[in-house]
Amino acid sequence: MSETLREDLRAGETLGFQTEVSKLLHLMIHSLYSNQEIFLRELVSNAADATDKLRFAALDQPDLLEQDSELGIWIDFDAEAHTVTLRDNGIGMSREEIVSNLGTIARSGTAEFMRHLSGDQQKDAHLIGQFGVGFYSAFVVAESVDVYSRRAGLAADQGVFWSSRGEGEFTVGQLDRAARGTEIVLHLREDAYGFADAYRLRGIIHKYAEHIGVPVRMLQQFPAEGEEASYEVVNQASALWTRPRSEIKDEEYIAFYKHVAHDFSDPLTWSHNKVEGKLEYTSLLYVPGKAPYDLFNREAPKGLKLYVQRVFIMDQAEQFLPLYLRFIKGIVDSNDLPLNVSREILQSSPATEAMRSALTKRVLDMLAKLAESEPEKYATLWLTFGAVLKEGVVEDQANQEKLAGLFRFVSSRDIDAGQSTSLDAYIARMPAEQKGIYYVTAESVQAGIKSPHMEIFRKKDVEVLVMHERIDEWMMSWLHEYQGKKFIHVGKGDLDLGDSVASEELKAQAQEHAGLLERLQKALAEQVAEVKVSARLIDSPACLVVAEGDIGLATRQILEAAGQKLPETKPSLEINLEHALIRRLEQESDEERFAALASVLYGQAALADGVQLRDPSSFVSHLNQLLAQLPV
Ligand code: ADP
Ligand code: MG
C-alpha cells in the first residue's frame, strides 16, 4: 500500500469490537477452517450489494455516480506480499458506517447465531451469512484486514480506513481517497498463502460469482516492474434470471441459490419463470435442502429479494409469498412496480397481491412436480418443511385442495416400512364402499397405531392414516374433505363402518345391557357424558370418544394448559362387552367395588388416549384397593 495510507493508519483511533464480535471472530476462525474459500464469496457478495445500493441511490441522485458509472468489482493478488485485494466502486462507507458495520453486529440474530453453533464445522459454516456476519469470514484466511473506503457523495478527504487483526480491537481513521467505493486488503495467514494465485482465485469466483450482476475483473498475473496491470472479466456479469432458461446450466442455478440464500448446501429444486401480459415479472424460486434454524419462528426475516427492472430494491420482501411458504428463497424482478417502492406501498399494491397469488401457485406446482418426478427428493422436502406447509391449510384456504395433495402421512398399512403415503394413493386403495379417509391423531406413531380406537380397523384391515405431529389435530379441524372424500377421525363421533348387521346388533346389545350402562353412567357421571356399547373395540375394555368435530382430549389438555378457554364438554365412554373386565363389572354387586372398577376403567381409557388424569392419586388408590383383593 502507498506510504500515505500507512501514515494515516498510524494516526488512527483504536476501538474495541463489540464483545459479540470478538467471540464470533474467534469461533468463526475455528469453525470455518475447513471451508476457507467462502471468504471470497462473502466479500464479493458484499461488493455486489454495494454496487446494487449505489445504483438504487443514483436513481434519485445521479450525481452519486460521479465520473465513474461503470460499476464493478476488481480482484488483485500479490503472491510475494501474500495479499488478496478486493475493490468495488459501489456505495462505500462513511466513518460512522464503517465503525458500526464492521465493529458491531447490529443484528439481533447474533446471540442466536452463537447459540446455534454446534461445533460441527459443516453445520456451523451453513449458519454464517444467515446472520449477517459475512465480512468477518475474511479473518478465516487473513491475519489482518485493511479496509479503505469512501462513501458515494462525500468529498475525497472524507475517506476512511479500518484495520484489524481480528483480536478484540480495530483501528479507524480518516484518509484522502479519490476513488469511490471500498477496497479490502487481506494479509493472508501462512496456511492461506495459496489463495494469492490467479488460478485458485478464478476457480472460486467461477463457483460463486458467475451470476453476479456486475463484472468481476481479476488481475491476470502480477505485473512485473513498470508493467501495466491487466485485468480480465471472469464472470458472466449478467443477472442470472434475465437469461433464457435453456441457456442456464444447473450448476449456475445452484451457485446463484447459494448466493441469494446464504446457504452452503444445494437446493432441492427451483423454478424460473418469466411472466408477460398484464403483469410482467420474472421469478426464480428455490426450495432449500435444509431448514433454517429459525423455521418455526414466524417472526424471523423471510421473503424474496425484490428487484424492479433489474435494480435491486430490497431483501426479505415478505409480501410475495404467504407465511407458510416462508422457507422458499429466491428473487422476483417486477416491471410494474415503481422503483421507489417501499414496504408500505408493497403491502397495499394490487400488483403485489396478484403476484403473490401467482407465485404461491407457482411454488405449489413446483412442489407437486417434484413429488411426481423425484419422490425421494420430495420425501426429504416433506420431512424438512412438511409441518410448515400444513399451516397453509388454515392460512390459505383457497389452496387447501392443492396443499392436501402435497401432504404425506404415515399409513397403518406400512408402518414397518416407514413409508408415507399421499392422500391420492390412499384414495386409490380405498374400497368403493368406504365412507371416507380414516385417520387417527396421537402424540407418536406408536401411540396412534396402538390406540384402542384402531382395534376394529386393524381387525377389518381398514387403512388408517396416523397423524402424529402437533399441528395435525388443529390442521384437521380445518380440513374436511379431499377429492370429495370426507376425513373421518377413528376416535371421534359414532363409528359407521357401513355394516348394518353389526349396527343392529349393537342396538340389541345396548338394550340387553342397559342396566350395566346405567350403573356405569352413574358411577362416572362427573367424567363422562354417556356410556355406550362400542363398535370399535376388540382387545381393550373401554375407550373415550369425543363428538365428531370436537377437539381431541389430549390436545384439549395442551390448549387448556396454555391458557385457552374451551367450551366444557365431556367425552363418552365406550365399552367392550366381550372383555373379561366388563363381564366382571356387570356381575359386581358390591357398589363400592363397582365404583373402584369403574374409576380404573375410565382412568385406563384416558391414559390410552394420551390424556393426563385429573386425579391420578384416586386412580392409583382405586387400583391398589382392587389389587389388594387378589387371592394369594
Ligand atoms: P451482510 O452483508 O449480511 O449485511 P456482512 O458482514 O457481510 O453482513 O457486512 C456487514 C455490512 O458491512 C454490510 O451490511 C455493509 O453495510 C457493510 N459492507 C461490507 N462490505 C461492504 C462494501 N464492499 N461496500 C460497502 N459496504 C460494505
Ligand atoms: Mg455480506
Q: Which domains does the chain have, with CATH numbers?
A: 3-233 (3.30.565.10), 240-374 (3.30.230.80), 407-489 (3.40.50.11260), 500-548+566-628 (1.20.120.790)
Distance 49 CA to ligand 1 centre (A): 8
75-85 tens-digit pLDDT: 999 999 999 99
Does ligand 1 come within 6 angstroms of the Cβ of 47? Answer: yes
> Which residue type sits at 40?
L
Q: Strand pairing partners for 77?
A: 84
Atom of ligand 1 nearest to the CA of 181: 24
What letter represents residue 562's amino acid?
Answer: A
The residues near 170 (Cβ < 8 Å, ≥ 6 apart) are 14, 15, 17, 102, 103, 162, 163, 164
Ligand 1 pocket: which of 24, 38, 49 to mutate (most atoms within 8 A of CB): 49
Distance 97 CA to ligand 1 centre (A): 10
C-alpha cell at 507: 342396538
> Which phi and psi angles does 611 have, rounded to 5°?
-95, 140
Q: With a cut of 70, say whether residue 594 has pLDDT above it.
A: yes
Task: Identify the pLDDT of residue 129.
Answer: 54
Tens digits of per-residue pLDDT, 159-188? 999 999 988 889 999 999 999 999 999 999
β-pairing verdict for 216-219 and 73-78 = parallel
Output the DSSP codes for 433-455. Answer: T--EEEEEE-SSHHHHHH-GGGH
Average pLDDT of the segment spanning 113-142:
71
Distance CA 245, CA 542 (A): 62
CA of 23 to the centre of ligand 1 (A): 19
Tell me what the mean pLDDT of segment 110-120 comes to: 67
Q: Give the ligand 1 atom nearest the CA of 86.
A: 23
301 in contact with ligand 1, CB cutoff 6 A: no
Q: Calculate mean pLDDT across residues 146-157.
A: 96
Quote the ligand 1 centre to 302 CA distance (angstroms).
19
Ligand 1 atom with least separation from CA of 102: 12
Query: Residues with Cβ < 8 Å from 6, sequence gap 6 or more?
Result: none
CB of residue 135 inside a 6 A radius of ligand 1: yes
CA distances (Å), 357 to each of 174, 272, 354, in order?
50, 16, 5
Is 148 near ligand 1, meaning CB less than 6 Å away?
no
171 Cβ below 6 A of ligand 1: no
Query: Whose atoms come closest to the Cα of 50: which ligand?
Result: 1
**Residue whose CA is at the smallest distance from ligand 1 atom 16:** 101
Distance CA 574, CA 148 (A): 78
**Weakest-pLDDT range from 50-59, 409-418, 430-439, 623-632:** 409-418
Q: For residue range 245-296, what is the model confidence (pLDDT) as tens digits?
A: 999 999 999 988 988 887 878 999 999 999 998 899 999 999 999 988 888 8
The response to whether residue 88 sits with its C-beta less than 6 Å from ligand 1 reads yes
Mutating to test ligand 1, I would choose from 85, 101, 183 the residue with most ligand atoms within 8 A of its C-beta, which is 101
Contact 406, 381 (CB under 8 A): no
Which tens digit of pLDDT belongs to each residue from 463-512? 999 999 989 999 999 999 999 999 999 999 988 888 888 889 999 999 99
pLDDT band (50, 70, 90) for residue 4: very low
In this structure, the residue with its CA closest to atom 27 of ligand 1 is: 46
By alpha-carbon position, which residue is closest to atom 11 of ligand 1? 101
Residue 598 to residue 595: CA distance in whole angstroms: 5
Ligand nearest the Cα of residue 87 is 1
The residue whose CA has the least distance to atom 19 of ligand 1 is: 46
Q: How far is the CA of 10 from the centre of ligand 1 (A)?
A: 25
Q: What is the whole-number distance in angstroms between the Cα of residue 1 and the centre of ligand 2?
A: 25
Q: Which of ligand 1's atoms lies nearest the C-alpha of 53?
A: 25
Is residue 23 very low, low, confident or very high in pLDDT (cuts 50, 70, 90)?
confident
Instruction: Give yes or no for residue 42 CB within 6 A of ligand 1.
Output: yes
Distance, CA 92 to ligand 1 centroid (Å)? 10
- Quote the pLDDT of residue 9: 53
Tell whether ligand 1 has an atom less than 6 A from the beta carbon of residue 133. Answer: yes
Q: Report CA dihedral (339, 344, 350, 353) to the nearest 10 degrees.
A: 110
160 lines ligand 1 (CB under 6 A): no
